[in-house]
Structures are given as C-alpha cells and as structure tokens.
Structure 1
Amino acid sequence: MQRQVEADKAKAAGLLNVYTTQLSSKKPGLQAAGRTWTYETILGQYRELKAKYPNALLVWGPDYTNYSRSGHPSDYYVMLSGETFATAQAAKGWCTANGYGSEDCLPVHLAQ
C-alpha cells in the first residue's frame, strides 16, 4: 500500500489546483459493503479502479488537509479517479456520467 501511495505522490501533486473525483476511501478494519476491509482488499479495489480508470491513484488521507479540516478522522486510503475538472460541478457530472451516485463519488480539491 505504502509503495503505491509513494508512487502516486507526484501525480497527486498535480491535482492540488484542480478538482478530481474521489471513488473510495477505506482503512483496514472498516466494515462496509458487506465485508471487513484489509490492506489486501483495499489494494485489490484500487487495482480494479486503476484498470477501469488509467489515471486513478491512491493517496493517504492524512497527507492532505482537505481530509482533516472538518475534524473528521483522516486515516483512510483514498482512491481518486485522477481526472481533472475546473469546477466541482464538472466533477459531479463525471460521477453521474460514469454511473456513480453521490455516496459513491464526490468532487475533491486536494490541499496540503
């Protein structure tokens, strides 16, 4: 996991001034979607998303202040589409066009 996060850091830096879309956020031990998530299942989900969206990347939530500024726990691995958008509305449109609901895909603006 950490190796993938490190490999994707440079791509994530390119998303700091634009919107992208968050496709998933998971952490080991999380109970969601009928399972308990592990490092292996999180990495597996990332690989599935990467196969579908070649620009997808994996980031560690605590590296970005947008995941912690509301006081919420930020200790999640976050999967981003890596697509770039000028506005949050355009990012939402991408989510809708790709068949995602508002609970499964959301616009994010990474901040450090």
Structure 2
Amino acid sequence: MPVSMAAGMAPVAPLPRRSNAPWIVAGIAVAVALLLVAIGVLATLRPAATTTVAVPTPVAAPTVTVGVPVASETSSGSSSPSYDSGSAAAATLQGYVEADRSTVNGLVGTWVPQLSAKHDGTVADGITYDDDAILSHFSSLAARYPSAALLWSGDWPVFQGDDYWVVVYPQSFATADAANAWCDAQGFAADDCLAKKLSHTGGPSGTTVPRS
C-alpha cells in the first residue's frame, strides 16, 4: 500500500530544467573570435600592393653655340659680306649691333640722324679706319649720346654699301628736314650728320638727304 503524504504537507515541486542558451552564445562568440583572428592573420600574410612610379626619361638640353656670324641675310634674302674679320673689335661691334637691333627696328619708316657710316679702309679726317678705329669712334659718339645705336648696313637694303658700321641717333622725325635740323642744332659738320630713312624694303634711292 503506498505511503500517503503526511497530512498538511505540500507536494515537492520538480527542479527547473537548465537552459543550453548560454553555451550556444559562448560558442558563437568563440567562433566569431576565431574568424576575426583568421582574417587578421590572412591580412598580415598578404603581400602589400606594389605601387610603380614612372620615372620620366631625362631630356638632353640642346647645345647652343654662340659666336659671331660670318654673314647675314638681308631682307631680300641675299647674303651680305662678312663682318667677322676675326678681330676682337669686330666681335664687339657685332655685339652692339645685336643689342641695338630691336631699337633700330623701332625706327623703321621714319627719318633719323645718321652720325657715322664707316667700314674697314674708310678714310676720313686724316684717319684710315679699321675695326679698332671704328669701335673707338662709335665709343666716342656713344659717350656723347648714350642712346646712339649701331647697325650693320648689310642688314638694310637702303644703304649703298653693305659692309658699313652705321651709327644713328634713335629719334624718329617725320621729315628729312627735321632730322637735319637736329644735326644743325648739335653742331655737326655737314659730312658728319645727315637724314636717313630706315626701311627693310626698297633701296637707297630717296632714303638719304645730305645737309648742305
């Protein structure tokens, strides 16, 4: 006969069943941690991307030879006689011509006072001129008129001779008379200063007006 519970005694409740959820969560966390570690290891072992930088090929600078030309081209295309006599004075004179070229070109189409025109062998005032004497004469004119400009007649078709060193005073005048009046005012002798019209076209005719 089964034993009866004692009168007034409550029945014993069964123990609650233990849940497996904490272990599942812990397992998932461990799996995620292992996955992250694996990814980190793979990222460390993976070789870094190589960046290639293109290096420009060096370009050799052109070689420029500076010297005194042995001939020049006139505006008509023909070569003028050489102004390179091999002397240091000729080289210096040519340097002045190049330095004054833009100034003289700015006078094209106008009348200017021409102060001198000499070449090797010119005889004037008892002097037989060579390159050194011409350079000295130009220097004396430049000392008196610092803006005086030098040109080579071979570059200009308006001169009779194409081998003269010509000195001009770089002031433009509308007429030949006005240019000659400047020569008068400066006290130049008639043969030492005259009106000259500069042009890259045409010829000597009508571009020279001497003083009387």
TM score, norm. by length of structure 2: 0.49
Question: Match for residue 106 of structure 2?
Answer: 14
1:59 corresponds to 2:151: yes
User: After TM superposition, which residue ranges in structure 1, 4 or more long, deviate above 3 angstroms?
Assistant: none
Tell me which of 167, 172, 176 is aligned to 1:88.
Answer: 176
Deviations 1:11-40 (A, max 9, x none): 100110221110111111222221211111
Question: Match for residue 193 of structure 2?
Answer: 105
CA positional deviation for 1:74: 2.6
- Cα contact 1:55–1:83 (8 A) shared by 2: no
Larger Rg: 2
Q: Distance in 2 between matches of 1:6 and 1:20?
A: 19
1:39 corresponds to 2:131: yes
Gaps spanning 5+ residues in structure 2: where? Answer: 1-92, 201-212
Q: Distance in 2 between matches of 1:73 and 1:18?
A: 20
Aligned-residue RMSD, C-alpha = 1.2
Which shows bigger deviation, 29-38 or 8-17? Answer: 29-38
| Aligned 1:69-88 pairs, distance under 5 A | 72-88=160-176
Q: Choose between structure 1 and 2: higher strand proportion.
A: 1
Q: Distance in 1 between matches of 2:194 and 2:161?
A: 18
- Cα contact 1:24–1:104 (8 A) shared by 2: yes
CA positional deviation for 1:42: 0.7
Deviations 1:54-84 (A, max 9, x none): 22011001111110xxxx3231100111122
Q: Distance in 2 between matches of 1:31 and 1:78?
A: 15
> Which of structures 1 and 2 has the larger relative contact order (alpha carbons within 8 angstroms, sep 6+)?
1
Gaps spanning 5+ residues in structure 1: where? Answer: none
1:26 corresponds to 2:118: yes
TM score, norm. by length of structure 1: 0.89
Between the two proteins, the alignment pairs up a number of residues equal to 108
